[in-house]
Amino acid sequence: MKVNKVCCIGAGYVGGPTMAVIALKCPDLQVTVVDVRKERIDSWNGPFDSLPVYEPGLKEIIEKVRGRNLFFSSEIDIAIDSSDMIFMAVNTPTKTEGVGAGMAADLKYIEACAKNIAQVAKTDKIVVEKSTLPVRTAEKIREILDNQGRAGVSFEILSNPEFLAEGTAIQDLFKSDRVLIGGDSTSKGKKAVQALVDIYKNWIPIEKIITTNVWSSELAKLASNAMLAQRISSINSISALCEKTNADIHELSKAIGMDHRIGPHFLNASVGFGGSCFQKDILNLVYLCKYYGLEEVAEYWHQVIKINDYQKNRFAQKIIDGLGGDLLGKRIAILGWAFKANTNDSRESPAIYVTKKLVERGANVKIFDPLVSLSTIMRDIEDYKIDKDACSISSNIDECINDVELVAILTEASAYKDLGKELLIFDGRGINKNAKFSIGK
Ligand code: UDX
Ligand code: ADP
């Protein structure tokens, strides 16, 4: 089956960049990205310098394809009905209430999306799960589509998890290590899988496109993220031991990573991982294991989160100790608010947790991150109940580090590498040679 039009529900960090690259690589395909948040769509249609998602290389692609075969629209129903294939890239946060609160993924946005498709679709559709979802979500989506869809309209559901990392999304999409497509083994299922393979094969070598059953695909995504996060917690746990001994975590990472069976990536000790995926996906995995009675497995993965919390707290405590244990009236510069360099996303950022702890101990903080908007930082301060009178936001680095007792480095942005000797620097990323304290040293 040839797909001519696709739409993507959800114009966020996954939907925006992924659809931009699909539109670029498949000029004959018409791609429409829709979202319930009108201001987000307006901003995708607005000036190229203030797109809602910052990713190196994204703006240049949008300049090429927007209005050619990539469209951003708030007309969700029209886009759904006129598309052959619909990607779901809506948010799936951790549940805050009800069964599984604090653990399971909240599927209300996915369910709303499926209902919307069921109500609107007048012709057969291929529905593709892009968001990370708990295993067997496809079943739930199928239930909604089959029960609420119009008579005579049929749906095929595919799982096609996104593996891009923020900050390198465009490169990751151009040169994916693999593309994973899960589908049913019925003849209609196979045709749907092939239709999606045909899109990706425009730029991904065919041997890197793996097809599996739906459940393997869903679980592979959760397990991949869990194993990546586990590497970080592993190296971070060792960083604590390095600080007690005379070992240096950077030397260890190099020595460990040169074993080709382990590999050099994802061994950077840090203040802890953040971002919208790792914690959420592991909690999801833990919840699934508990649901199936696999207590030991659940506990094993939960430990990855516990070490991450330990690491964030440990870094904040180092700062408190470094300032003599009393932060009342002390001024601290926070360099980096996003969860890592090269992104404007601050979801689950360690900087938020560290700042909260420092402010609770009486410090005044000055925050600098050139990519994160003032409104996002203000929203985080409010959401995490940090005393806003103790926080100020700097628009340039010099102003931020001026007249403070301590400078804390929270992301690995290159601008923080060469800060001078005259400052008391606590480095949560191990990038600054002049730091008084550096994680794992
Ligand atoms: C992650 C996965 O990498 C990606 O495949 C998946 O699709 C989504 O989740 P992302 O969260 O965007 O991507 O960024 P990633 O580069 O994985 O970093 C996650 C966190 O781990 C960041 O806070 C980062 O600073 C931290 N990290 C990463 C480390 O502390 N040390 C490392 O060695 C690598
Ligand atoms: P991600 O990082 O997974 O892309 P984001 O929160 O950045 O997550 O983006 C998800 C987007 O999906 C949001 O912009 C949100 O408004 C949108 N969304 C959620 N539910 C729906 C829905 N039912 N219909 C359309 N858009 C939706």
Would you report the helix, strand and coil content of the chain in percent, each value rounded to 5? 45, 15, 40
Give the pLDDT band (50/70/90) at residue 46. Answer: very high
129 is a catalytic site residue:
no
394 CB within 6 A, ligand 1: no
- State the residue for tokens 């930082």: 377
Q: Is the pLDDT of residue 230 over 80?
A: yes
Q: Is the pLDDT of residue 209 over 90?
A: yes
Q: What is the pLDDT of residues 182-202, one digit of tens each?
A: 999 999 999 999 999 999 999
- pLDDT at residue 293 in the model: 98
**Domain covering 223-438 assigned CATH 3.30.1490.20 in the classification:** no
Cα separation, 199 vs 213, in Å, equals 19
Nearest ligand for residue 89 CA: 2
Ligand 2 neighbours, Cβ below 6 Å, are 9-15, 34-37, 40, 76, 89-91, 109, 112-113, 116, 131, 276
- pLDDT at residue 341 in the model: 96
DSSP 342: T
What is the phi/psi pair of residue 167, to 5°? 95, -30
Atom of ligand 1 nearest to the CA of 266: 33
Give the pLDDT band (50/70/90) at residue 420. Answer: confident
Nearest ligand for residue 74 CA: 2
Give the pLDDT band (50/70/90) at residue 132. Answer: confident
Q: Is the pLDDT of residue 96 over 90?
A: no
Task: Give me the chain's average pLDDT, please.
Answer: 96
- pLDDT at residue 279 in the model: 95
Nearest Cα residue to atom 26 of ligand 1: 273
- pLDDT at residue 159 in the model: 95
Contact yes or no for 83/4 (Cβ under 8 A): no
221 is a catalytic site residue:
yes
Multiple choice CATH, 5-212, 3.40.50.11540, 3.40.50.720, 3.40.50.970, 1.25.40.80: 3.40.50.720
412 is a catalytic site residue:
no
How many A from CA of 110 to the centre of ligand 2?
9
Helices H / strands E in the chain, number of each: 15, 14
DSSP 94: B
26, 277, 391, 400: the catalytic one is 277
Q: Is the pLDDT of residue 428 over 90?
A: yes
Q: What is the pLDDT of residues 376-392, one digit of tens each?
A: 999 999 999 999 999 99
Q: Is the pLDDT of residue 134 over 80?
A: no
**C-alpha torsion sign, points 275, 260, 203, 49:** positive
Mutate-to-test residue for ligand 2 from 9, 35, 40, 54, highest number of ligand atoms within 8 A of CB = 35
Q: What percent of the chain has pLDDT over 90?
A: 92
Q: Side chain identity at 71, as an amino acid letter? A: F
Q: Is the pLDDT of residue 157 over 90?
A: yes
**C-alpha torsion sign, points 422, 423, 428, 429:** negative
- pLDDT at residue 97 in the model: 87
Nearest Cα residue to atom 1 of ligand 1: 165
- pLDDT at residue 93 in the model: 85
Nearest ligand for residue 18 CA: 2
Average pLDDT over residues 417-426: 92
- pLDDT at residue 416 in the model: 97
DSSP 341: T
- State the residue for tokens 């790792």: 278
- pLDDT at residue 272 in the model: 98
Nearest Cα residue to atom 22 of ligand 1: 273
- pLDDT at residue 286 in the model: 95
How many A from CA of 15 to the centre of ligand 2?
8
Domain span(s) for CATH 3.40.50.720 in the chain = 5-212, 223-438
Nearest ligand for residue 440 CA: 1
Atom of ligand 1 nearest to the CA of 348: 23
Average pLDDT over residues 196-225: 96
Contact yes or no for 74/34 (Cβ under 8 A): yes
Cα separation, 47 vs 55, in Å, equals 15
Mutate-to-test residue for ligand 1 from 277, 281, 346, 431, highest number of ligand atoms within 8 A of CB = 277
165 CB within 6 A, ligand 1: yes
Give the pLDDT band (50/70/90) at residue 104. Answer: confident
Q: What is the pLDDT of residues 304-338, one digit of tens each?
A: 999 999 999 999 999 999 999 999 999 999 999 99
- State the residue for tokens 């410090």: 363
Give the pLDDT band (50/70/90) at residue 101. Answer: confident
* Max intra-chain CA distance, the chain: 73
